[in-house]
């Protein structure tokens, strides 16, 4: 199948790789974007597939907090004009308050419908979360595009808020390294093996190299083993001392 110029351009913009390399990868994978990116990584031409174009979705994130609970809502819209509208921002806050109070019974359909009419464009409650914990920490970035809730068993609110800010900045996928899905690790191992072969590393040392890569891969994506943003000389676990993280939610636009 002939690969379109549009598809080549999309892969080029996504990865930053030369046009001819993008064309070859797409030709060899039948135009499959995901497989083409994986092929480029295996060849060592692409060290990371994390340059994917960010979503153009606009909106705001709001958090409401009560005793031992917090609720967070991502309210999405089509334009930055609407996201800066005072009524829209207030609506997001009100929805977060309702989510906090109603929990699983929360239904935002009527509010979203009313906002659609009032704002003149599509409005949707894109994500909702509620957490419960003895200690709650929250963080909403100044542009309202990132929101975090974290729950601790032990510690104090100051530490919880610090960790929430860390989560906003460092984007951990899980709380501890052993929570990284084995399927995800196995897929990375395929890429590491291909890279080791490409680099000409002796096969006898592959196992030791792979163990180190897996350890780093898991630790970089887990909250507790990440370097703490306010003091990179210690991990988040070390900063928390005896406090245990029992809940973590991060929304972003």
The string of pLDDT tens digits covering residues 61-114 is 999 999 899 999 999 888 888 889 999 999 999 999 999 999 888 887 777 777
Nearest CA to 248 among 173, 143, 169?
173
Residues 6+ apart with CB under 8 A from 110: none
Question: Can you tell me the distance from the alpha carbon of 144 to that of 193, in angstroms, rounded to the nearest whole number?
Answer: 41
Please report the pLDDT score of residue 138 as a whole number: 97
CATH 2.60.40.10 fits 55-132, yes or no: no
- At 157, phi and psi to the nearest 5? -65, -35
Question: Can you tell me the distance from the alpha carbon of 130 to that of 99, in angstroms, rounded to the nearest whole number?
Answer: 7
Residue 196's Cα: distance from chain center in Å? 28
Confidence at 39, pLDDT banded by 50, 70, 90: confident
Residue 180 has what DSSP assignment?
S
Q: What is the pTM of this model?
A: 0.73
Instruction: Report the mean per-residue pLDDT for the chain.
Output: 88
Q: Is the dihedral of CA 107, 111, 114, 119 positive or negative?
A: negative
Question: Can you tell me the distance from the alpha carbon of 237 to that of 253, in angstroms, rounded to the nearest whole number?
Answer: 27
Q: Any alpha helices (H) in the chain, and if so which ranges?
A: 5-15, 19-28, 33-42, 80-83, 86-102, 109-119, 157-170, 182-198, 206-221, 236-240
Domain residue limits, the chain: 5-42, 55-132, 181-221
Nearest CA to 177 among 247, 133, 225?
225
Question: Can you tell me the distance from the alpha carbon of 232 to that of 170, in angstroms, rounded to the nearest whole number?
Answer: 12
> How crowded is residue 230: how many other Cβ atoms within 10 Å of its Cβ?
13
Give CATH for domain 5-42: 1.10.8.10
């Amino acid at each position: 199948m002939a690969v379109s110029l549009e598809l080549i351009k999309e892969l080029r913009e996504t990865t930053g790789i030369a046009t001819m390399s993008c064309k070859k990868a797409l030709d060899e994978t039948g135009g499959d974007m995901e497989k083409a990116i994986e092929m480029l990584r295996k060849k060592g031409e692409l060290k990371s597939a994390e340059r994917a174009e960010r979503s153009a979705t606009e909106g705001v994130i709001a958090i409401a907090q009560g005793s031992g609970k917090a609720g967070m809502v991502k309210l999405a819209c089509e334009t930055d004009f609407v996201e800066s509208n005072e009524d829209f921002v207030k609506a997001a806050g009100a929805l977060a308050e309702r989510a906090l109070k109603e929990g699983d019974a929360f239904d935002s359909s009527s509010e979203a419908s009313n906002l659609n009419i009032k704002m003149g464009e599509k409005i949707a409650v894109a994500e909702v979360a509620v957490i419960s914990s003895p200690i709650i920490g929250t963080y909403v970035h100044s542009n309202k595009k990132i929101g975090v809730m974290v729950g601790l068993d032990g510690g104090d609110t100051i530490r919880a808020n610090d960790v929430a800010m860390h989560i906003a900045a460092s984007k951990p996928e899980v709380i501890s390294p052993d929570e990284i899905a084995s399927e995800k690790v196995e897929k990375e191992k395929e890429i590491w093996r291909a890279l080791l072969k490409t680099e000409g590393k002796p096969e006898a040392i592959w196992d030791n190299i792979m163990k180190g890569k897996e350890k780093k891969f898991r630790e970089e994506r887990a909250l507790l083993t990440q370097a703490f943003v306010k003091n990179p000389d210690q991990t988040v676990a070390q900063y928390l001392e005896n406090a245990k993280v029992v809940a973590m939610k991060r929304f972003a636009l």
